[in-house]
Homo-oligomer: A and B are copies of this chain.
Amino acid sequence: MAVYTDVSADELEAFIEGYDIGKLLSYKGIAEGVENSNFLLHTEAGYYILTLYEKRVAAADLPFFLCLMEHLASRGLTCPQPVHTRKGDTLGTLAGRPAAIVTFLEGMWLRRADARHCAAVGEALARLHLAGADFAMTRANALSVAGWRPLFESCRERADEVQHGMGATIGEELALLEHCWPRNLPQGVIHADLFPDNVFFLGDRLSGLIDFYFACTDTLAYDVAICLNAWCFEPDFSYNVTKGRALIQAYRKTRALSEAELDAMPLLARGAALRFLLTRLVDWLNVPSGALVKPKSPHEYFRKLRFHQRAKSVRDYGVEIGELAS
């Protein structure tokens, strides 16, 4: 969490004149999102989120993200909506950075999710996959299997600084996944980062999804595997089969998972754990001194990877045998 770029009221007022949202009444840097600088704006027309895209987000990808949010919303998914300038643009420049204003979404993210919440996430993820089916743009997933080796090479020599044996374990896992990665499963738009802080609830009702800045075109079931990692482990890193079962079964009620997708789940979950392990490891080993952001520990995903390595089938994730046929 951090605001990387500060914006003066003068600059922001001039920027907002391009939009039909009235005069600026206040703005606050918000301590959410580690990739971009986010501000909550209050204008005469209401509340909005202003995002300045920092260097980790490629400017060329921004039209994909913004068009996707519009597309998904037009299909009934609740997510932030890019606001158009009077000229019709959704992307501008502020403080030397690409910038966009999106609508403000009510709701809170859950610090402690239970199985009902996991079910709501599974259903929302399936709805996202269906809503994205006719989205015309594509974006390769730079953080899928082909992207893992370069990440690993950048940190392999120092991985054991974090934990003895981590480097060797990652090397073996990576070689296995490069060989066995499921490549013929159904593809489409995936969120690729649907962690608890990107899912809003009002009471027990899921009220919206945010932060589409990792969204891409990839294996749909891989998105399920990311959610199993993000939602279904306890603080002690034990896997909660009740939550996993709730998430997968709710997903399947909205979008069927084929036998091939279900069979691939342990491998996909290993890949998802490795992907977050690698990016956390790189961040952990490369904290600039005086950094405003304390990176997340890589240990969590090392532990989760160990769980997935032992899983033999999707049954180990809470899906029971009889259900597979249904």
Nearest neighbor of A112 in chain B, beta-carbon distance: B8
Binds B, one of A21-29, A66-74, A159-167: A21-29
Known contacts being A28-B31, A292-B292, A294-B290, is A10 close to B107, with CB within 8 Å? no
Indicate if A259 sits at the interface (CB-CB under 8 A).
no
User: Within 8 Å of chain B (Cβ to Cβ): is A241?
Assistant: no
A293 within 8 A of B: yes
Q: B2, B12, B29, B292: which contacts A32 (Cβ < 8 A)? A: B29
Taken residue by residue from 40 to 72, chain A's Cβ proximity to chain B (1 for < 8 Å, 0 otherwise) reads as 101000010000000000000000000000000
Q: How large, as a class, is the contact surface on chain A?
A: 35 or more
**B111 touching A9 by the CB < 8 A rule?**
yes
Q: Which residue of chain B has the shortest Cβ distance to A2 in the bound complex?
A: B31
Q: How many copies does the complex hold?
A: 2
A9:B201 contact, CB within 8 angstroms: yes
Which residues of A from 282 to 307 have beta carbons under 8 Å from B?
Answer: 287, 290, 292-294
A109 at the B interface (CB under 8 A): yes
A157 located at the interface, meaning its Cβ lies under 8 Å from any Cβ of chain B in the complex: no
Least CB separation from A42: chain B residue: B106
Contact yes or no, B1 A1, CB < 8 A: no
- Is residue A108 contacting chain B, with contact meaning CB distance below 8 A? yes
Q: Which residue of chain B has the shortest Cβ distance to A201 in the bound complex?
A: B9
Asked whether, in the complex, the Cβ of B25 is within 8 Å of the Cβ of A40, the reply is: no
The one of B2, B29, B105, B106 that contacts A30, using a Cβ cutoff of 8 Å: B29
User: Is there a chain B Cβ closer than 8 Å to A176's Cβ?
Assistant: no
Q: How long is the Cα–Cα vector from A64 to B2 in the complex, in angstroms?
A: 31
Task: State how many angstroms separate the Cβ of A107 from the closest Cβ of chain B.
Answer: 6
Q: Contact check, B106 vs A26: say whether CB atoms are below 8 A apart.
A: yes
Chain B residues within 8 Å of A28, by CB: 28, 30-32, 40
List the B side residues contacting A12 at CB < 8 Å.
108
With CB as the reference atom, state the residue of chain B lying closest to A24: B108
Q: Is A202 an interface residue (CB 8 A)?
A: yes
User: Shortest Cβ distance from A146 into chain B, in angstroms?
Assistant: 33
CA distance A276 to B136 in the complex (A): 57
Q: A9-B109, A111-B9, A292-B293 are in contact. Are A30 and B27 (CB under 8 A)?
A: no
Using a CB–CB cutoff of 8 Å, the interface residues on chain A facing chain B are 1-3, 6, 8-10, 12, 24-32, 40, 42, 47, 104-112, 200-202, 287, 290, 292-294
Could you name 23 residue pairs across A and B whose Cβ atoms are closer than 8 Å? A1-B3, A1-B29, A1-B31, A2-B31, A6-B111, A9-B108, A9-B109, A9-B111, A12-B108, A24-B108, A25-B107, A26-B106, A26-B108, A28-B30, A28-B40, A29-B31, A30-B30, A30-B31, A30-B40, A42-B106, A290-B294, A292-B293, A292-B294
What would 13 more interface pairs be, CB under 8 Å, given A10-B112, A25-B107? A1-B29, A1-B31, A9-B109, A12-B108, A26-B104, A28-B28, A28-B40, A29-B32, A30-B30, A31-B31, A287-B290, A292-B293, A292-B294
